[in-house]
Structure 1
Amino acid sequence: MLPDERHNFIYNHLHQHQTATINQLAKLMEVSHMTIRRDIQSMVDEGKVIAISGGVKLHDALKQELPYVEKAMLHHQHKQKIGELAAQLIEAGQVIYLDAGTTSFEVARHIAKKLNKVTVITNDFTICNFLMNMSHINLFHTGGQVDLRNRSCVGSSAANFLLTLNIDVAFISTSSWDLTHGLSTPEEGKALVKKAIISASRRKILISDSSKYGKYGMFHISHLNELTDIICDNQLDAETQQNLRALGINLHLTHSRQGSGGHHA
């Protein structure tokens, strides 16, 4: 493995497991402890990770998102449940926005099963390709600058198109969110699109599993109280749940006692 390949492996592993020891990484990649220490130091210097005793963890300040294919494999069961719950909030005839991402794709899968006539707008090519032959869906793609890593369109062209629309319900994805920084991203082009969709939509729903909570990126998108709803898994800690409800946000948790309706503020 080349150094860049090892760095990518470590970064992907940490997105899945949060922390890793030097021993674990050395065994997984079949390299020496000294090689792993050098790799970790290099990634620390880039601000991607934090060295801890005997190992490494992700930095809360997210510097780079994972490519689409790798994100699709992470926390897949949570994403499926979030997608199922999200689709229950949609009514026939509505104009829906599906943000780029693997959690949004799970929403698309459940929308396709419902067979209610809706209009779907997306900047995601995988979602667009999946929904293209569904006769009950009126489909729009934003166009714009192509982000190859995430198979979507970003930047001002996509954002400007969204600002011409009146959208009933937007499902917004993110790789980083918390109470202090709100929604954020390490990529400017994504921030432009997400800001536009928040402006253009009546109901603004964050769809994100709990592993992304507590991270933040360089580019601020919005404060959490600008959202109407958040759909998450029930691994979100109780204090955070309470703080989110105190903001007046409708919080819907998968596998909750109240069932598919989730929890409401």
Structure 2
Amino acid sequence: MTKDERLSLICQHLYSHGESTIQTIAEIADASLATVRRDLLSLEADGTIHRTHGGARIAKSAGVEVAFDLRENQNLFAKRAIAEVAYEQIVPGSTVFLDAGTTVLQLARRLRLDPLPLSVFTNCLNVAQVLMNTPGITLVLLGGQLRAENASMVGALAEAMIENLWFDQLFLGAGAIAPDACIYSLDASEAQLNQKMLARAGHTLLLADSSKFDQRLTYRVAPLNPSLTLISDELLPANWRARLKEVGCTLLKASSQAIAAEGQTA
């Protein structure tokens, strides 16, 4: 196993299991304790993890963006449950935009399993790859500058393209939903493109699991408002459910426990 493969495996393990001991990490990575300690030092220097007494955990710092393929596996059952509810909201024969979010990617995978007649626009390379050659789906990938961290197309070209389009439905992910009831992004170009998407959509469905709430990132996208439908999981705190009623944002609840149970019995 190369160092890069080992680092990726360590990150995957920490995402799936939370805080873990150095001994456990060494067993998972099939590496010596000394090697794992060096790996953890490297990951901590990159801002990916925090070392703890005798172990490590994934960093939750707002200023760190973990690679798309690692974030994809965080809260996976909740994301799949949210995607299932989102799939039920899709209007066959319509034009939809799928954002470059890891929960939205789960929706793309659900569409791949049970295709609907749709025109799908996206700025996400991974979404495009999943839906490529899917029966009944006309797929358009935005041009622009590639952000490798999010496998997304952004920038002036992508924004100009969106300004000449109209979407019946926008399925939007969220980097964070802060206490001020606004959606935030870690990247300025992503936030600006998200704003363009919102302006060109008839109905926006925000896909955000409960871990995204009460988090802070740098760039404001938009406030939660009555024009949005939020899809989240059953762990969304009661104070946020009340707050959503105050701002007039419709909430659809997804059951991650049901998805987890299906996985265990499959």
Alignment of 1:96-111 (within 5 A): 96-111=96-111
- Residues 63, 17 of structure 1: CA spacing in aligned structure 2 closer, same or farther, 3 A cutoff? farther
Q: Is the 8 A contact 1:49 1:56 kept in 2?
A: yes
Question: Per the alignment, in what secondary structure is the counterpart of residue 168 of structure 2?
Answer: strand
Distance 1:219 1:204 in 2: 19
How far residue 10 of structure 1 moved from its aligned partner, in angstroms, is 8.7
Q: Which amino acid aligns with 1:183?
A: I
Report the more deviating stretch, 152-161 or 82-91: 152-161
Question: Could you say which residue in structure 2 is the equivalent of 1:166?
Answer: 166
Question: Could you say which residue in structure 2 is the equivalent of 1:223?
Answer: 223
Distance 1:129 1:51 in 2: 35
User: Deviations 1:44-84 (Å, cap 9, x if unpaired)?
Assistant: xx998899999988787611221111112211111111111
Q: TM-score, normalised by structure 2?
A: 0.77
User: What is the aligned-residue identity percentage?
Assistant: 25
Question: Per the alignment, in what secondary structure is the counterpart of residue 225 of structure 1?
Answer: coil
Distance 1:225 1:99 in 2: 19
User: Deviations 1:75-111 (Å, cap 9, x if unpaired)?
Assistant: 1111111111101001111111100122111111222
Question: Could you say which residue in structure 1 is the equivalent of 2:183?
Answer: 183
- Residues 76, 57 of structure 1: CA spacing in aligned structure 2 closer, same or farther, 3 A cutoff? closer
1:28 aligns with 2:21: no
Q: Is the 8 A contact 2:226 2:248 kept in 1?
A: no
Distance 1:227 1:6 in 2: 45
Q: TM-score, normalised by structure 1?
A: 0.77
1:254 aligns with 2:259: no
Alignment of 1:200-219 (within 5 A): 200-219=200-219
How far residue 149 of structure 1 moved from its aligned partner, in angstroms, is 2.3
Question: Per the alignment, in what secondary structure is the counterpart of residue 88 of structure 1?
Answer: helix
Q: Please, which runs of 5 or more residues in structure 1 have no aligned partner?
A: 257-265
Which consecutive aligned stretches of 4+ in structure 1 deviate over 6 angstroms post-superposition? 4-14, 46-60
Alignment of 1:64-75 (within 5 A): 64-75=64-75
Question: Could you say which residue in structure 1 is the equivalent of 2:262?
Answer: none
Question: Could you say which residue in structure 1 is the equivalent of 2:81?
Answer: 81
Question: Per the alignment, in what secondary structure is the counterpart of residue 231 of structure 1?
Answer: strand
Distance 1:212 1:17 in 2: 18
User: Deviations 1:20-46 (Å, cap 9, x if unpaired)?
Assistant: 48xx357636768xx79x969x76xx9
Distance 2:9 2:112 in 1: 34
Distance 2:242 2:71 in 1: 28
Distance 2:179 2:156 in 1: 27
Report the more deviating stretch, 222-231 or 131-140: 222-231
How far residue 210 of structure 1 moved from its aligned partner, in angstroms, is 1.2
